[in-house]
Amino acid sequence: MTIDFTKFIKYSKPGPRYTSYPTAPEFSDKFTYDSYIEHIKKSNESKRPLSLYFHLPFCRGACYFCGCNTFYTSKEDKKNRYVEYLKKEMELLSSYLDTKREVIQLHFGGGTPTFFTASELDEIVVNIKKHFTNFASDAEISCEIDPRFFNEEQMKVFKKHGFNRISFGVQDFESKVQEAVHRIQSFEQTKASVDLARKYGIESINIDLIYGLPYQTLESFKNTLKLTTKLNPDRLAVFNYAHVPWLMKTMRKIDETTLPTPDVKLEILKETIDFFESQGYKMVGMDHFAKPDDELFKAIKKGELHRNFQGYTTKGGADLFGVGVTSIGETSNYYAQNFKGMDEYENALDNNKLPFHRGILLSSDDKLRKDVIMQLMSNFKLDFRSIEAKHGINFKEYFADALNELKEFEKEELIKITDTNIEATATGSMIIRNLAMPFDAYLKKVPEEQRRFSKTV
């Protein structure tokens, strides 16, 4: 792949990752608790299937690169207490939500979900299935796993409850990088965890890597790539490190002078794409790779890939409900987020209220722009006619300003615009966030120097 690095570096600017639109900074208390409850009930009328996300927020210690909402503890009673509150939340949620709707996706995220014991994990899943009784036969049931906290008893619980996808966090195998981000994890330890999952029949394994971490070089990351393929994952997620120390205090422990420059990051990304494609993987979406027989790759070929807070998925058309502290839910009409603080989360449930903190009710313009941005982010292309038919607009008139803004990218041969569609080129897909930003009405209201997002490159 030939890349003009000079051309790309100028596009390194703060921008959303678009796991949602509108993005999380737009969530507020203007979306009230009573309105939230009303819209949960309305979602029942849609009969749409359910996607469930459970946030298990505890970790033994901090990984400095991590942007997740976590709590650090070594106390078992805190985890036991949290399980009880998850049960309270499910009980209360079930009084508003039709839990007989089909569940097509269940995901455990963290934190470190496997920091919970096998018996605690079993108790959580038993209670989920007590309330949500209609799991699809092909439901995607997945968990994020830190190989440093994973054992056979936990794997037996996952097997018992039908988990079929597991994602292992690796980030980088280079010892100097691991020391700088406070996450020491050997290749042997990771391989043992992957082998354990395979032993129990997990046929879809994902590995997470991050480029842009302290002390990473092109040569050091090449070694990580080679070691990763020895694990034979079915999917890979290779994320651009989002350095946001104003949001995450632990990131302030990273010496910014040790972070690779944008041109080095682009060299690493180019090498990553070339290497994985030489190993038989195909690039899917902004930062994912999959084997050609994987359903993620099949979905993008059909233009049916979707994007949500859990990344890329084939399970579109579902209402997402987040359970647990800081979890986010999404339906076609709103986004809703739980309290981030444990005290506020518990207090709400103690008062017989869902721990809803903030969110946003989507306007017709929000829904339109969401469709446009998510189509671009998921499939690197956009069909004007499908948008016009769904939303009753003239695309070129409605988005005249955005199309004008995209002309710069068209001249650089990063995007192709015709009378009926937009499609990113192979190199343009590497800055798909930049190509989506002209359609973001909220972003236009904030001067670039005041935008508090990670860099796009």
Q: Are residues 266 and 407 in the same domain?
A: no
Angle at 18 between CA 450 and CA 171, to 5 degrees: 95
Tell me whether residue 249 is in a domain: yes
Of 6-10, 142-146, 172-176, 239-243, the poorest mean pLDDT is in 6-10
Tell me whether residue 332 is in a domain: no
Q: Are residues 377 and 443 in the same domain?
A: yes
pTM: 0.92
Q: Are residues 29 and 124 in the same domain?
A: yes
Tell me whether residue 33 is in a domain: yes
Q: Is the pLDDT of residue 106 over 90?
A: yes
Q: Are residues 298 and 379 in the same domain?
A: no
Mean pLDDT of 42-54: 95
Which token pair is 52? 């469930």
Q: Is the pLDDT of residue 449 over 70?
A: no
pLDDT-derived band at 456, boundaries 50, 70, 90: low
Q: According to the model, what pLDDT value does residue 399 have?
A: 97
CATH number where 379 lies: 1.10.10.920
Q: Are residues 222 and 246 in the same domain?
A: yes
Q: Are residues 319 and 370 in the same domain?
A: no
Tell me whether residue 347 is in a domain: no
Which token pair is 395? 């695309």
Tell me whether residue 46 is in a domain: yes
Mean pLDDT of 249-256: 94
Residue bearing the bigger pLDDT, 137 or 302: 137
Mean pLDDT of 326-347: 96
Tell me whether residue 213 is in a domain: yes
Of 8-17, 197-206, 303-312, the poorest mean pLDDT is in 303-312
Tell me whether residue 336 is in a domain: no
Q: According to the model, what pLDDT value does residue 247 have?
A: 84
Q: Are residues 3 and 44 in the same domain?
A: no
CATH number where 229 lies: 3.80.30.20
Q: Are residues 166 and 57 in the same domain?
A: yes
| Last residue in a domain, options 271, 302, 323 | 323
Q: Are residues 238 and 298 in the same domain?
A: yes
| Last residue in a domain, options 264, 292, 323 | 323
Residue 379, domain extent: 1-13+364-448+453-457
Q: Are residues 2 and 39 in the same domain?
A: no
Q: Are residues 391 and 300 in the same domain?
A: no
Residue 224 neighbours by CB under 8 Å, 6+ apart = 170, 172, 173, 174, 209
Report long-range pairs for 29-37 (Cβ below 8 Å, ≥24 apart): 29/357, 29/358, 30/360, 31/334, 31/336, 31/358, 31/359, 31/360, 31/361, 33/353, 33/354, 33/356, 35/361, 36/334, 36/336, 36/354, 36/356, 36/359, 37/96, 37/354
| Last residue in a domain, options 293, 323, 353 | 323
Number of domains in the chain: 2
Tell me whether residue 31 is in a domain: yes
Q: Are residues 72 and 214 in the same domain?
A: yes
Q: According to the model, what pLDDT value does residue 292 have?
A: 87
